[in-house]
Copies of this chain bind each other. A is one copy, B any other.
């Protein structure tokens, strides 16, 4: 059976944990699904575990074991989504809608064997398609899959979004909606910037940068997957029936360079390796070692300090387990002199397709920050984003000033 055999388009709706945290919220979600179905489409819902269920399970595990095997952790966590999917299916049936819940394994989500951070290898949507063909609503457990030895796996951070996008791709769904506790993607964090506006449409690349740079609404992984399979992605509120933000392939006619958003990320730390020899292969050794530790490096700046030696500075997520001991090891390994860890910094990211080649934008950014007497520690830019490392204490002021100067004036 293929998606073409169905007589109606498919919408995939993903409900996050806060959107199914209580029986009342689950009933609300069911009503929303019912309305969507009445509009003449097939609906596949993907659910996360209810509210704090995953945290509760993790804390039980910690009470029992200091280092639980990742295989068993995956088994444990998988129970959270199984619970919420069954309850959502019950709520749909209570509304008179034939619905059926499927685990990751039953839904045909096959992954590699990398427990706690499995990657989806393939989806066999047969069982889901058959259910849709019987005109049932399918409720699928997010975050989980199974490997080829029939072991339960979980997809790691952003896992349920990834499940939803992957299923949407496999089903050739008309759209994949990520329903959450915010109404869409904003030009800046509305808790910080009063004038922050919801963005109605974004390109995959812009969203990807935002996701990777502190916008918590979507995980980068799911955006990448959506881009690869051209899944039309929508981020919208789980409770209000408003339009949300549509993420799709960039309209080619849009030549105008535009600053789309200013994101802030204080959960980072800056690491400097001082006076490492300026010989070929040193950077490769440093970032090769970091890669083996699983460190996700955000930004790298290399500056010559004195003859034949460089200072190499990079920014990593704040919870990265890089401590003095590991850094000493690393510095010794590459023949450097010393290292510094600084966690009182933050990132300010200005995002927009083509931003770094647009004349004047970089200058405007630096002038705005200089007017605010904010010291720019490091700067990095790519086609889509200009990132400034600033003192953590200046983050809020800088975000507001940039948003006002670059976006609000542009309205």
Residues on A lying within 8 angstroms of B by beta carbon are 23, 26-27, 57, 60-61, 63-69, 71-73, 75-76, 78-80, 82-83, 85-87, 89-91, 93-94, 100-101, 103, 106, 150, 152
Set B72, B90, B152: member contacting A72, Cβ < 8 A: B90
Rounded to whole angstroms, the CA-CA distance of A151 and B171 in the bound complex is 22
Residues of B within 8 A of A91 (CB): 64-65
Q: CA separation between A78 and B83, bound complex, in Å?
A: 8
Known contacts: A23-B60, A94-B66. The answer to whether A82 contacts B72 by CB under 8 A is: no
A-B contacts, 19 listed (Cβ < 8 Å): A26-B64, A57-B83, A61-B86, A61-B90, A65-B94, A67-B94, A68-B93, A68-B94, A72-B89, A72-B101, A75-B89, A75-B103, A76-B82, A76-B87, A76-B90, A79-B79, A79-B80, A79-B82, A79-B86
Q: How far is the CB of A89 from chain B (nearest CB, A)?
A: 5
Q: Which of B87, B100, B101, B150 contacts A64 (CB 8 A)?
A: B87
Given A82-B79, A89-B72, check contact A64 B106 (CB 8 Å).
no
Main SS of the interface on chain A?
A: helix
Closest chain-B Cβ to A400's Cβ sits at a distance in Å of 43
Among B79, B100, B152, the residue within 8 A (CB) of A83 is B79
Nearest B-chain residue to A77, judged by Cβ: B86
| CB proximity of A44 to chain B, nearest CB, Å | 16
A79 to chain B, nearest CB (A): 4
User: Which residue of chain B is the closest to A76 with respect to CB atoms?
Assistant: B86
Residues of B within 8 A of A106 (CB): 150
How far apart sit A276 and B284, CA to CA, in the bound complex (Å)? 94
Q: Which residues of B contact A152 (CB under 8 A)?
A: 103
B60/A87 in contact, CB under 8 A: yes
